[in-house]
Amino acid sequence: MADRLKGKATIVTGAGKGIGRGIAQVFAAEGAKVLVADIDQRAAQETAEDLGRSGAEAVAVRVDVSKAADAEAMARAAIERFGRIDVLCQNAGIYPEVRIAEMTEADWDHVHAINLKGTFLTVKACLPQMVQQGYGRIVITSSITGPRVGNPGLAHYAATKAGVNGFIRTAAIEFAKQGITINAVEPGNIMTPGMEGQLGADYIRAQEQSIPMGKLGEPEDVAYAMLFLASDEAKYITGQTIVVDGGQILPESRFAVG
């Protein structure tokens, strides 16, 4: 099916690279008008230009999702450019690795400010326009880490993603009667520049051995799950999550992976 988001005004945060860029590309291919938001202005511009070359309407904005003023400016930019906000994909997030014994309060606060507070701020900034329209689709990038599994070195990250899942369930109830759905996708290990550069080849090989499908996912795998939740095919789904992990959380142990 094509044109599932034809003409829909969409914001994708963290869209300069990785999963966010994949979301922006898939949504644009399905007819969405995309506001490409990222803290890295150059990366956002590169994504927007790439979408423009494919014939999509796209504009780049710099946003630090941990700052309320930035989130509000992002929402205003979408309204000024597109006249409305139909879809918000809150994807921006970080996952610096540090064990609890070495973790500082600043480490904890920084991850929470972007991953969890940033989710609250971006959603809050877009909700007034969606309420006015009587329509909105909010899809958030969560993770299997936190809601489903643990990973040494990522306690702060895991806490934020578990928090995201709790947030969407209550938010979904609060705005259900305004025509707004709020859902999330829980990716497993997805091959992105951050994954490759930060965690390295040894980590990737080890993770592949624990995934029944035998490989890491691609950004597009997450994007297509988000596309479903952002489309009217999912109009009666809210407060839910979809796991996209190649079966990673299924085995009882590593010996169960054939």
Q: pLDDT by residue (tens digit) across 204-243?
A: 888 888 899 999 999 999 999 999 999 999 999 999 999 9
pLDDT band at 199 (very low <50, low <70, confident <90, very high): low
Structural domain boundaries, residue 89 = 9-189+219-241
Within-domain flag for 142: yes
pLDDT digits (tens, 9 = 90+) for 90-114: 999 999 999 999 999 999 999 999 9
241 Cβ neighbours under 8 A, 6+ residues apart: 142, 147, 165, 168, 183, 184, 185, 186
233 Cβ neighbours under 8 A, 6+ residues apart: 4
Active-site annotation, residues: 157
Q: Which amino acid is at 107?
A: D
**Rounded to an integer, what distance in angstroms lies between the CA atom of residue 116 and that of residue 42?**
24
Within-domain flag for 159: yes
Residue 252 gets which letter from DSSP? S
* pLDDT at site 204: 84
pLDDT digits (tens, 9 = 90+) for 34-54: 999 999 999 999 999 999 999
Residues 19-31 have a mean pLDDT of 98
Within-domain flag for 55: yes
Within-domain flag for 100: yes
* pLDDT at site 257: 84
Q: Write down the residue that tokens 């965690």 correspond to.
A: 199
Mean pLDDT of the chain: 95
* pLDDT at site 197: 64
How many folded domains does the chain comprise?
1
Residues 187-212 have a mean pLDDT of 82
pLDDT digits (tens, 9 = 90+) for 61-81: 999 999 999 999 999 999 999
**Rounded to an integer, what distance in angstroms lies between the CA atom of residue 111 and that of residue 182?**
22
Within-domain flag for 126: yes
* pLDDT at site 196: 66
Residue 138 gets which letter from DSSP? E
Q: pTM for the whole thing? A: 0.95
DSSP string, 111-123: HHIIIIIHHHHHH
Within-domain flag for 202: no
Residue 81 sits in a domain of what CATH number? 3.40.50.720
- DSSP, collapsed to helix, strand or coil, labels residue 185 as strand
pLDDT band at 198 (very low <50, low <70, confident <90, very high): low
Within-domain flag for 207: no
249 Cβ neighbours under 8 A, 6+ residues apart: 144, 148, 149, 188, 243
- Measure Cα distances from 76 to 21, 71, 79, 155, 220 in Å: 21, 9, 5, 34, 28
Within-domain flag for 228: yes
